[in-house]
Amino acid sequence: MSPKITTELLKQLRQVMKSPKYVQEPIQAYIVPSGDAHQSEYMAPCDCRRAFISGFDGSAGTAIVTEQHAAMWTDGRYFLQAAHQMDNNWTLMRMGLKDTPTQEDWLVSVLPEGSKVGVDPFIIPADQWKSMSKALRSAGHDLVPVKENLIDTIWTDCPQRPCKPLIPLDLSYTGVSWRDKIVALRSKMAERKVLWFVVTALDEVAWLFNLRGSDVEYNPVFFAYAVIGMNTIRLFIDGDRIMDPAVREHLQLDSTLEPEFKIHVMPYGSILSELQAVGAGLSPKEKVWLSDKASYALTEAVPKAYRYLTLYTPICIAKAVKNASETEGMRRAHIKDAVALCELFNWLEQEVPKGTVTEIIAADKAEEFRSQQKDFVELSFATISSTGPNGAIIHYTPVPETNRTLSVNEIYLLDSGAQYKDGTTDVTRTMHFGTPSAYEKECFTYVLKGHIAVSAAIFPNGTKGHLLDSFARSALWDCGLDYLHGTGHGVGSFLNVHEGPCGISYKTFADEPLEAGMIVSDEPGYYEDGSFGIRIENVVLVVPAETKYNFKNRGSLTFEPLTLVPIQTKMIDVNLLTQKECNWVNSYHQKCREVVGAELERQGRQEALRWLTRETEPLVKVQ
């Protein structure tokens, strides 16, 4: 990796920062966050502005350019990568270290008195604008919105915003029509006494209209906004994709409909003016509901007195609770995914000893097997295929410079998943193709105990996921081990592999209670820097539990694993398992064998079936 030379680019940026063409008054600093206008986790190439200006393309980072300085804030995962990718024009601000200033403090320390700091109001969420603006104002500076994105003005070969075809999903996948989703949304709006709801997150637009796209890699979404009134529906979307007859039919664009279900399609770029028009027409007590993560630009379009902001939107909460059709789809997707992984692991077992399989080859092979499955669309995130010391880098993705060959002497960790038309998968298995050491088995077994503790946990209705996080750590803690990431995240249904509002983490305090139908991951791990990484991840469905006393009819919940891929028993030290844990593994493997075995049989994959049968032999615990 050689750093990107940014001298000329920064010169150009500093020119437009003073150009009356773009700014009313010259600005002394320009902030380039890593987000897009929808606060997405994954970016389309045209939105990777921070990477363009700096060269640093990690997933998290904020650049600030002043007349004299250029600085980049990022976290511990990316210190090394950012240092490699950026040239001398840039100062790396290592977040989390004691002496690293905050963006606000740094700005105050370098700016001349009474400076103006610019930012694209579509990219910065309203809550971040608020705190940044307050900090700058108290030091005598101003945060100002710059309408035209200044990076775009100097990015001559900026890729086009993607505008790929839409995929309508019928009822067999979604279980609920978009009309019924609108009805439910309006009833939530009525409950909160709001007249308008603005849909800004891409997966929320996709979910609401039962449409999918491919504008962003790994995320089956498309660039659009929606504004839902009590009697109107406006969908802001570009391109001729809306002219596709299947899409028109799906959205009933050419049918005679009751006016309240008539969708008005408008250009993507007209959201701001339309929302301003809505805002201007409001009378007292008429509120507009927005996520408090929506952009400053859209939030400001609604006069403050009329805004109703919440952390989670009603769509986010409804989307998290999967209905029967979605759950069945997720089950099917996970069975197909398991078939692909049985094929892969069987293949790896034969190929790894030859010394010819690299991390990249293994990742490609996993994709190849997945792509053979029905309704496969794409991967759900960049495959983490890591062996030996690379496994200890939690967010590793193999690239040619780091690509390592799998061997019978190292632990191999594969965290991968796919988008199928019927569901989204995300699974991690940790394998050894030779003979693991006693220490490796010990660590693996503690991680497994944690995985089981969460998966088998029974808890009353109303419990939030963060209350389960310590269950995943208890066995590790007892021996003085831990892992520095959360235990689980929400998973979409043929949607984003990470979604709110639920999760299992020591960090998340604003999570919503777990409910039957929610789907999360259960993925404790252990990482030994410089040697190996272990993680065991299933996607699990929240289901009602049966208990002896049933919480005085408050009811209770537990998890059912959707992922059905064997956990390598070679890595387990059976002596460290309780009988109950041992039984859990055996009954899990029994289910893998039955359910995935039947599908392997059906698909005529005899070799993989033999592998599955061998890998699901019951553990025997010597009493």
Q: Rounded CA gap, 414 and 198, in Å?
A: 39
Nearest Cα neighbor of 50 from 73, 78, 25 is 73
Q: DSSP labels for 110-129?
A: HSPTT-EEEE-TTTSBHHHH
Of the two residues 261 and 506, which places its CB atom closer to a copy of itself in the complex? Answer: 506
The reply on whether position 477 binds a copy of itself by CB under 8 A is yes
Q: With CB under 8 A as the contact rule, which of the stretches 72-80, 142-150, 342-350, 480-488 interacts with a copy of itself?
A: 480-488
Q: Of 178-186, 194-202, 477-485, 569-577, which segment contacts a copy of itself by CB under 8 A?
A: 477-485
Q: Does 131 bind a copy of itself (CB under 8 A)?
A: no
Output 269 or 544, the one with its CB closest to a copy of itself: 544
Q: Which stretch binds a copy of itself (CB under 8 A): 151-159, 189-197, 308-316, 474-482?
A: 474-482
Q: Which amino acid is at 488?
A: G
The nearer residue to a copy of itself, 354 or 548, going by C-beta atoms, is: 548
What's the Cα-to-Cα distance from 523 to each of 441, 446, 449, 454, rounded to whole Å? 17, 12, 11, 9
The residue (of 246 and 458) whose beta carbon lies closer to a copy of itself is: 458
Contact residue for a copy of itself among 474, 575, 587, 590 (CB under 8 A) = 474
To a copy of itself, the closest distance from the beta carbon of 458 in angstroms equals 5
Smallest distance from a copy of itself to CB 469, Å: 7
Which residues, 6 or more positions from 360, have their beta carbon under 8 angstroms from its beta carbon?
385, 398, 399, 400, 403
Interface with a copy of itself (CB under 8 A), residue total 26
Pairing of strands 142-145, 116-119: parallel
Q: Between residues 144 and 394, which has the closer beta carbon with respect to a copy of itself?
A: 394
Q: Does 165 bind a copy of itself (CB under 8 A)?
A: no
In the complex, the smallest distance separating the C-beta of residue 578 from a copy of itself, rounded to whole angstroms, is 8
Smallest gap from Cβ 134 to a copy of itself, in A, equals 13
Distance CA 525, CA 534 (A): 5
**8 Å CB contact between 372 and 600:** no
Task: Enumerate residues 6+ apart whose C-beta is below 8 A from 58.
Answer: 74, 77, 78, 81, 82
Nearer to a copy of itself among residue 1 and residue 543 (C-beta): 543
Contact set for a copy of itself, span 502-531 (CB under 8 A) = 506, 509
Q: Burial, 285: exposed, middle or buried (Cβ in 10 Å; 0-12, 13-18, 19+)?
A: exposed
Closer CB to a copy of itself, 104 or 469, in the complex? 469
Q: Nearest approach, Cβ of 467 to a copy of itself (angstroms)?
A: 5
Single out the segment in contact with a copy of itself by CB under 8 A; choices: 23-31, 76-84, 377-385, 469-477: 469-477
Place of tokens 């003085």: 480
CB of 479 to a copy of itself, least distance (A): 4
Question: Does 191 help bind a copy of itself (rule: CB under 8 A)?
Answer: no
* Residue 29 CB, nearest approach to a copy of itself (Å): 23
Say whether residue 170 binds a copy of itself (CB under 8 A).
no
- Minimum CB distance to a copy of itself, residue 419 (Å): 33
Residue 457 tokens, joined = 């946990």
Tokens 């945060």 found at: 143
> Within the chain, what is the greatest distance between any pair of CA atoms?
81
| Nearest distance in Å: CB 362, a copy of itself | 29
Report the nearest approach of a copy of itself to the CB of residue 113 (Å): 14
By the 8 A CB rule, do 420 and 336 touch?
yes
Q: Which of 478, 594, 601, 617 is in the footprint of a copy of itself by CB under 8 A? A: 478
Return the residue matching tokens 């660039």. 223
Site string for a copy of itself, 542-561 (x = CB under 8 A): -----xxxxx--x-x-----
CB 211 within 8 A of CB 248: no
Q: Cβ of residue 623: shortest distance to a copy of itself, in angstroms?
A: 10
583 interacts with a copy of itself by CB under 8 A: no
CA separation for the pair 58, 81 (Å, rounded): 7
CA distances (Å), origin 357, targets 26, 385, 436, 449, 480: 55, 11, 19, 30, 34
Q: Single out the residue of 95, 481, 582, 595 in contact with a copy of itself (rule: CB under 8 A).
A: 481
Rounded to whole angstroms, the Cα distance separating 41 from 20 reads 33
Residue of 196, 222, 345, 471 interacting with a copy of itself (CB under 8 A): 471
Residue (138 or 255) nearer to a copy of itself, CB: 138
Are 148 and 23 within 8 A, CB to CB?
A: no
**Is residue 469 within the footprint of a copy of itself (CB under 8 A)?**
yes
How far is Cα 364 from Cα 368, in angstroms, rounded to an integer?
6
Please answer whether residues 71 and 106 qualify as being in contact, where contact means their C-beta atoms are separated by less than 8 angstroms.
yes
Contact flag: residue 479 with a copy of itself (CB under 8 A): yes
User: How many residues are recorded in the chain?
Assistant: 623
Q: % helix / strand / coil in the chain, to the nearest 5?
A: 40, 20, 40
Cβ of 157: how many Cβ atoms within 10 Å?
Answer: 5
Sites for a copy of itself among residues 429-468 (CB under 8 A): 457-460, 467-468
List 153, 358, 470, 613, residue binding a copy of itself (CB under 8 A): 470
Catalog residues that contact a copy of itself under the rule CB under 8 A: 457-460, 467-471, 473-474, 477-482, 506, 509, 547-551, 554, 556
